[in-house]
Amino acid sequence: MLRINDISFSIEGRPLFENTGVIIPTGHKVGLVGRNGTGKTTLFRLIRGELEPEGGSITVPRGARIGGVAQEAPASDDSLLDTVLAADTERAALLAEADSTQDAGRIADIHTRLGDIDAWSAEARAATILAGLGFDSAAQKRPCADFSGGWRMRVALAAVLFSQPDILLLDEPTNYLDLEGTIWLESYLARYPHTVLVVSHDRDLLNKSVGAILHLEHRKLTLWTGGYDQFARQHAERRAQAEAEQKKQQAQRAHLQAYVDRFRYKASKAKQAQSRLKMIERMEPITLLRDAATVQFHFPSPEELSPPIIKLEDVTVGYDGKPVLAGLNLRIDQDDRIALLGANGEGKSTLSKLLAGRLAPISGQIHASSKLRIGYFAQHQVDELYLDETPLQHLRRLRPDEVPAKLRARLAAGGLGAEQAETVVGKLSGGQKSRLSLLLATLDAPHILILDEPTNHLDIESREALVRALNDYAGAVILVSHDSHLVTMVADRLWLVRDGKVRPFDEDMEAYRKLLLSERRTDTGGRARQPAPPARPKPRPRRTPAEIRRMTAPLQAEVSKCEARITRLEEMREKLDALLADPDTYDAANAARLRELQAKDAELNQALQRAEELWLKAVDALEAARKG
């Protein structure tokens, strides 16, 4: 059992924890969430003993092993498989002793212990973990030095998973995984036999892998049961309840104060006025902790171009004359939302660069509108920002004729406030750098936005803001992301990049997840095959955007009608809540009126529930019509 007892801790005078604690039972899997900069990574360092709390204490079970990924695996000559096997230090020590000792009794004890820790299946287990994280059987035999830092981070993750510490601490493990590796990790963590505490902004991972959410907010830790969606719903309900209680209390205080002000100096009422004044003084004010400003994204909408905006005919693309993808016959219209699926190294980034004009085809033809503007965001672009310049200077270089107020407004629309506008990029957080790169990519109102892993370093609130902005955006979106929630919420078409080809994947993300896990379970000896798309009949001709709009117009009208109905009911709900919050409503003389209001409250709740059900049904019908 992990016990965090009433801890306090500050960094450079800024308090991160104030007299807060939590108990995490042995074997529980917990997601640690909170806005960037609140202290999640610091909490991990406190648990590991790298930092000492200023007050309180942290205790773990005696002899418990704490493990996590602190840095990438070293660039050594050891193979990936040997690097992972070495993480089980007890097994390595026992095998070394068995080779050197001559004591028959000790040899027997060693082999007994090796059996107890399942040492004989270690190589198969290590190979399975490496395969799940994207390394085929040939790669597992290559030295670590052959791989880049990002891939060596995967090796370090494989090593800590293989060693199976009693308390596993993972800090944003999906930042260096692709979608396929992320899906595998979700499944693995759900089956992990010991305690897990994972910091993640990946909503699907927090829904599928953990059974509780530890929320760090306003220097306090609160443990919530369930996955992230359940936590978000309960947290919103608690806040709404607190707001209602605050309004009710304020109304009661105002009512009492009005009586005091009216009769304070009237002799016959002075005693009653004094009594009400004491009631006001005894009231403990209900104060709401103010949330940080909500991040917003706004992508300017381009003018509409005639379809298709990009068309590829028998295109081959690669590097130095060597093909990576061949036989590409693809079409993109301005209303497309396409996500690219496939393991790292299959060619998703190559296709993205081709579509962005950053890579020329080896052969074939690319037809694009002469007026086409393209916005491109790639992971490495964050590193290409000028670290010694401010975001304001970045924008001034691209918009030299715009006044500073206009440039600041653009930055604010991209989620960078007045303080960040004047801060050199080198001192910005990873999330702030990502927001700046997104702003620069969309500055010219592109007709197509190509996003390669845009959510790295973005917290959950920022990811949700990105979903909203992309859904409001009037151009095409090509998306590569390990965040399956983002893919599900934004993309309406899936392309599978595999074996040098790009093919439509005609199922949804849940089907892709199941197929992927099935393939990796049946191919544990090496890198699992990516699931091939199910056989499909020849697709019918693609409908034009005008046809889609014509067919869906009645359904869109029904959705708007349902939304208007919900808005009216919510306005009625606010008025009724105000009446129920009025202390005069509860006077004995108003008993009949109170019963009438309570009956209306019940009716209104039922009406809202029915209206929301009708809205969901209308939205589902609209989405089905758009896809079908």
What is the predicted pLDDT for the residue at 536? 38
What fold does the segment set 1-65+165-226 form as a domain? Rossmann fold (3.40.50)
pLDDT, the chain, mean: 84
Stretch 46-75: mean pLDDT, rounded?
Answer: 89
Stretch 357-374: mean pLDDT, rounded?
Answer: 94
What is the predicted pLDDT for the residue at 95? 82
Query: 428 — phi, psi (to 5°)?
Result: -80, 155
What is the predicted pLDDT for the residue at 522? 54
Which one is predicted more confidently, 234 or 570?
Answer: 234
Stretch 269-277: mean pLDDT, rounded?
Answer: 72
User: Among 34-43, 45-54, 113-122, 357-366, which is the least confidently predicted range?
Assistant: 113-122
What kind and span of H or E run contains 367?
Answer: strand 363-368
The CA-atom distances, in angstroms, between 289 and each of 218, 219, 220, 243, 601 are 8, 11, 12, 11, 28
Structure tokens at 363: 């052969």
Which residues have CB under 8 Å from 45's CB, separation 6+?
A: 51
Structure tokens at 426: 């080198």
Measure the CA–CA gap between 605 and 618, rounded to whole angstroms: 20
SS (H, E, C) 205-263: HHHHCCCEEEEEECCEEEEEECCHHHHHHHHHHHHHHHHHHHHHHHHHHHHHHHHHHHH
pLDDT tops 50 at residue 532: no
Helix (H, G, I), strand (E, B) or coil at 122: helix
Stretch 495-503: mean pLDDT, rounded?
Answer: 94
Kindly indicate the confidence band of residue 530, based on its pLDDT and cuts at 50, 70 and 90: very low
Q: Under a CB-based contact definition with an 8 Å cutoff, are residues 381 and 349 in contact?
A: no
Stretch 15-27: mean pLDDT, rounded?
Answer: 93
Beta strands in 60-181 (DSSP E): 66-68, 167-171
Structure tokens at 83: 């690097």
Q: Measure the N-to-C terminal CA separation of the chain; round to a whole number of Å.
A: 52
pLDDT tops 50 at residue 584: yes
pLDDT tops 50 at residue 524: no
What are the pLDDT digits (tens) for 246-265?
777 778 778 778 877 777 67
What are the pLDDT digits (tens) for 386-417?
888 999 999 999 899 999 899 998 888 887 88
What are the pLDDT digits (tens) for 314-352?
999 999 989 999 999 999 999 899 999 988 888 999 999
Query: pLDDT over 90 for what percent of the chain?
Result: 38
Answer CATH for 311-540 from 3.40.50.880, 3.30.70.20, 3.40.50.261, 3.40.50.300: 3.40.50.300
pLDDT tops 90 at residue 459: no
What is the predicted pLDDT for the residue at 547? 59
Give the residue among 194, 205, 187, 203 at the shortest CA–CA distance from 169. Answer: 194
Measure the CA–CA gap between 358 and 352, rounded to whole angstroms: 8
Other CB atoms within 10 Å distance of the CB of residue 172: 17
Kindly indicate the confidence band of residue 288, based on its pLDDT and cuts at 50, 70 and 90: low
Stretch 453-460: mean pLDDT, rounded?
Answer: 85
In the block, which residue shows the tokens 């910091």? 199
What residue ranges do the domains of the chain occupy?
1-65+165-226, 74-152, 233-282, 311-540, 547-627
In the block, which residue shows the tokens 């930055």? 411
Which residues have CB under 8 Å from 91's CB, separation 6+?
A: 85, 114, 117, 119, 122
Cis peptide before 308 (omega within 30 of 0): yes
Give the residue among 38, 16, 430 at the shortest CA–CA distance from 420. Answer: 430
pLDDT tops 80 at residue 48: yes
Which one is predicted more confidently, 582 or 500?
Answer: 500
Kindly indicate the confidence band of residue 80, based on its pLDDT and cuts at 50, 70 and 90: very high
Measure the CA–CA gap between 161 and 133, rounded to whole angstroms: 11
What is the predicted pLDDT for the residue at 550? 60
Length of the chain: 628
Stretch 31-50: mean pLDDT, rounded?
Answer: 90
Helix (H, G, I), strand (E, B) or coil at 188: helix
Stretch 282-306: mean pLDDT, rounded?
Answer: 72
What is the predicted pLDDT for the residue at 275? 75
What are the pLDDT digits (tens) for 564-581?
777 777 777 778 777 877
User: Among 50-54, 299-303, 609-613, which is the least confidently predicted range?
Assistant: 609-613
Q: Under a CB-based contact definition with an 8 Å cutoff, are residues 621 and 487 in contact?
A: no
Transcribe 417-457 into DSSP letters: -HHHHTS-GGGS-HHHHHHHHHHHHTTT--SEEEEESTTTT
Q: What is this structure's pTM?
A: 0.69
pLDDT tops 60 at residue 18: yes
What is the predicted pLDDT for the residue at 480? 93
Q: Under a CB-based contact definition with an 8 Å cutoff, are residues 390 and 422 in contact?
A: yes
Kindly indicate the confidence band of residue 374, based on its pLDDT and cuts at 50, 70 and 90: very high
What is the predicted pLDDT for the residue at 516? 80
In the block, which residue shows the tokens 């499944």? 187
Structure tokens at 524: 């544990």
Stretch 449-457: mean pLDDT, rounded?
Answer: 89
Query: 207 — phi, psi (to 5°)?
Result: -85, -30
Q: Under a CB-based contact definition with an 8 Å cutoff, are residues 470 and 299 in contact?
A: yes
Helix (H, G, I), strand (E, B) or coil at 280: helix
What is the predicted pLDDT for the residue at 56? 94
Give the residue among 205, 188, 184 at the shortest CA–CA distance from 516. Answer: 184
Which residues have CB under 8 Å from 224's CB, separation 6+?
A: 212, 213, 214, 215, 230, 231, 234, 235
